[in-house]
Structure 1
Amino acid sequence: MSLHVECSEPQRSFKRAFALSDDASNSVNPRPTKRYQHLPPTPPTPSLSLKKFSQSSRPEAVLSSPPGDSRLPRKPALVDLDPASCPVPEKSRLDYWLEDLPNSPPTRASSCPPDLEHSIPPEILDIGEGQPLSFDILQEISQSQRPKLEAGSLGSGRSSRPPTSHADYRRTLRKNGICIDHTGAEIPPELRSFLDLHILQERSSKVSPESITEAVNTAIQIADSPEGNVYDLQDTAMLPIKRSKVGRGGNTPWFPDGLPRNDVYGIPLAAPKADIHLGYPIDHNSGWTDKEDAVIDHVAARRLTKPAKGNCFPFFTLELKSEAMGGNLWQAENQAAGSGASCVNATRWVFREAYPSRDQSVMKSIAFSACVTQRLAIFYVHFYSAEKSQHYMSWIATCETMRHVQKSNHLVENILEHCLGARQTNIRTALGQLYPFPSHWKNSRPASVMDSQNPSADYKDETSNKTRRTE
């Protein structure tokens, strides 16, 4: 006796059903219509079978299969619906917020690069379609976009630092109180007399012919070489800068705290980064006392006294440029102007802190620089004129690398002799006056002598409540 048992159809959760169209022209590969109509949700009764639910809720769905193969699954076809009959969704809060936005274009961020407008001048709009543009017309289009590029070449913000290679950097130097004196006419009489007697004076010792020949041959070898080989001149009699008592550094960024700054103008100078800078050593063989080192490394002073790595109180900077690689003396002068002014301001700040009631002599804070190529070495003196409230970078000598080796040698020797002698002695005396530390250094931030300086005025005497000191 056989027993026949009917089992109910398996139950499973249903996905949301969609209305499908029966496209007679494409029953094998039906295409969806532009809109789908949502059908009633899954019935709540779990005992309702899939077959019954499909028959009750989708009477318009027609199932068809490709002819000739009954084994293929049957694919539903879509039913064309009228879009107008579909319900319109209600607006959300986001929709109302978007409608209230202004129609004006968004504001362009100040950090974005210059925006190019793809526009054609009116005078060339009448060109016939398909006709090639002449060279004059293309040049006119290019010229129309150039002012917009130049307007943003210095940066979008007033506080951006333009590079020393920028065409307007000389103007930035002047606006921040630095003047490049190409003839030396601005050198005051006191400083001129000192330079003639101690810096430009020929020394009794002569450079050997072998050393001169070596320096000339080195200059010839690097005439068409990359910039790195120009550094070879420092190992010759042309630039005898190697000394055991000299701290050397180079190609590292300086703190910009010592740079002069015009707050009204608003565009600061580029941070110095001298190729080579000479100063006083800071290692264990430097010769500074513990008290002097304490003043040099104090948080109120160290960004001025040690603006870069390798030394403290730098006094001689060198910028070496290769003409073969596009370097030039114009850019070297721009770079030396900033580093030279920083050297001057570091010593001026120390003397002002040590002797606040005394007028400073221009002689005590001078610094030197040299702009060098494989052809020339041009030397400058840097000083601050309290009378004119101006920093100067004044020319003192020009030496050809293949003709004036001995002249350049004596000039460098005299600079090092003065800076390692009288200049360092004056600095050490001032450092001794600053220990114990002044009372206003206790809660001071890192020193920046030019925070509020305007090039049109000398340093203000901000020491009314400071301890008066005497030499």
Structure 2
Amino acid sequence: MPSLTRPLHADSRKSVVDSWLEQTIPKGMISLEGSSILPTTELPDDGMSLRDDASTSASSMIIPGSTSTGTSERLITSSPLFRSTLKMNGVHIDNFGTKTPKDIEELVTKHIRRKRDSPRLGSEERDEITSKIADSWDKPEPMVSDISSCLFPVDLKKVSQGGDTLWSTQPLPRNPEYPHGLVTPKTDRHYGFHTALKSSWSPTELAAASHPSVRPYSQPTNDNLFSLFLLEVKSEATGGTLYAAESQLAGSGAHRVQSMR
């Protein structure tokens, strides 16, 4: 039986891709001023929380600091090459604050670094925190992350806590000309506004935040709306490093910034 399909000419393929992009990506969602880096539109394809990675032709081409299944090669956040992945996807870690824009620096100084007179902990509270840290000192990451709950008490009437769940992928910046995408965020702890069941927002506000086209940006998980405060905890017992935590949070932060844009 003759084939019912035939290869598309290059111009036709370009036309199909352009048409798909116009229908899939809302106008105004191109990020990073003038660059070609776009928010992604695909969902996670597996439970490994890694996506959009290049495949190699042979296992001998596997890069140190990566994982491999068959012929596919995936960078991990602890790899020395992962910072290149961040940069090539438009995410920069400014360790020394030398490239921070003036308006951002003023915002950080005014709201984040301002002096706060926190109440001192009572002896019972100190003992409870010390006990939790001691119990978790040699434990793996999921148990170590429990410490954050008592170190960062929150008013649960206004804020919802979530964590350890794969986020949506649509807001992640992606450079289509670079072979590696960012790791799908799975932040240990994140805080945001209550979802519809506990929220005091108006029906109109909740309807807007819960609209199917908005939800990947407003609600990366089912835990809360507009996650704003993110924590990544690492355990020395399982080889966790500050480098890997920073790399993970850089991706999570880019996710939230792109979502707000």
Instruction: Settle same-fold status: TM greater than 0.5.
Output: yes
1:213 positional shift:
4.8
Root-mean-square deviation (CA), in Å? 2.8
1:335 to 245, 248, 251: 248
Q: 1:219 to 1:282 in 2, by over 3 A?
A: same
Q: Quote the Cα distance in structure 2 between the aligned partners of 1:314 and 1:152.
A: 30
Task: Say which of 177, 183, 193 aligns to 2:106.
Answer: 193
Q: Give the SS at the match of 2:115.
A: coil
Shift of 1:319: 0.9
Aligned twin of 1:299? 212
Q: Judge which range, 223-232 or 283-292, deviates more.
A: 223-232
Q: Tell me the equivalent position of 2:149.
A: 235
Kept in 2: contact 1:279–1:314 (CA 8 A): yes
Question: How far 1:151 moved relative to its partner?
Answer: 8.5
Aligned residue number for residue 222 of structure 2:
309
In the alignment, does 2:247 pair up with 1:320?
no
SS at match of 1:191: helix
Which of 107, 125, 140 aligns to 1:226? It is 140
Q: CA deviation at 1:322?
A: 0.7
Report the Cα distance in structure 1 between the residues aligned to 2:79 and 2:133, rounded to whole angstroms.
29
Deviation, structure 1 residue 188: 2.3
- The change in CA–CA distance for 1:338 and 1:167 in structure 2 (over 3 A counts) is same
CA deviation vs aligned residue, 1:286-318 (integer Å, no higher than 9, x gap): 122121122112232111111212111110111
Secondary structure of the residue aligned to 1:257 is coil
Q: How does 1:139-218 map to 2 (within 5 A)?
A: 148-150=61-63, 162-210=75-123, 211-218=125-132
Does residue 114 of the first structure (1) align with residue 58 of the second (2)?
A: yes
Q: How many residues align?
A: 205
SS at match of 1:335: helix
1:274 is displaced (CA, Å) by: 0.8
> Which whole-Å CA distance do the structure 2 matches of 1:111 and 1:171 have between them?
18
Answer yes or no: is 1:257 the counterpart of 2:170. yes
Indicate whether 1:285 and 2:198 are aligned. Answer: yes
Q: State the secondary structure of the residue aligned to 1:320.
A: coil
Q: Which runs of 5+ in 1 are unaligned?
A: 1-109, 116-146, 349-471
Distance 1:311-1:260 versus aligned 2 partners, 3 A rule = same
Q: Retained in 1: the 8 A contact 2:166–2:185?
A: yes
Q: Distance in 2 between matches of 1:304 and 1:225?
A: 33
| Alpha-carbon contact 1:321-1:329 (below 8 Å) kept | yes
Per-residue deviation at 1:254? 1.0
Amino acid at match of 1:172: T
Q: Given residue 114 of structure 1, which amino acid in structure 2 is its aligned partner?
A: A
- Match in the other structure for 1:346: 259
- Write the letter of the residue equivalent to 2:152: L
Query: Separation in 2 of the partners of 1:213 and 1:277?
Result: 25
Q: Is the 8 A contact 1:114 1:152 kept in 2?
A: no
CA distance in 2, matches of 1:153, 1:285: 42
Distance 1:226 1:234 in 2: 14
Contact residue 260 and residue 341 of structure 1 kept, 8 A: yes
User: What letter is aligned with 1:342?
Assistant: H
Tell me: CA distance 1:111–1:258, structure 2 relative to 1, closer, same or farther (3 Å).
Answer: closer
CA shift, 1:321, in A, is 1.1
Q: Deviations over 1:327-353 (max 9, x none)?
A: 1111111111111111111111xxxxx
Residue 161 of structure 1 deviates from its aligned partner by 5.6
Could you tell me whether the CA contact under 8 Å between 2:230 and 2:249 is conserved in 1? yes
Cα separation, 2, equivalents of 1:301 and 1:344? 14
**Aligned to 1:256, what secondary structure does the other structure show?**
coil
Counterpart amino acid of residue 310 in structure 1: D
TM-score (norm 2): 0.68
Partners of 1:283 and 1:300 in 2: how far apart?
17
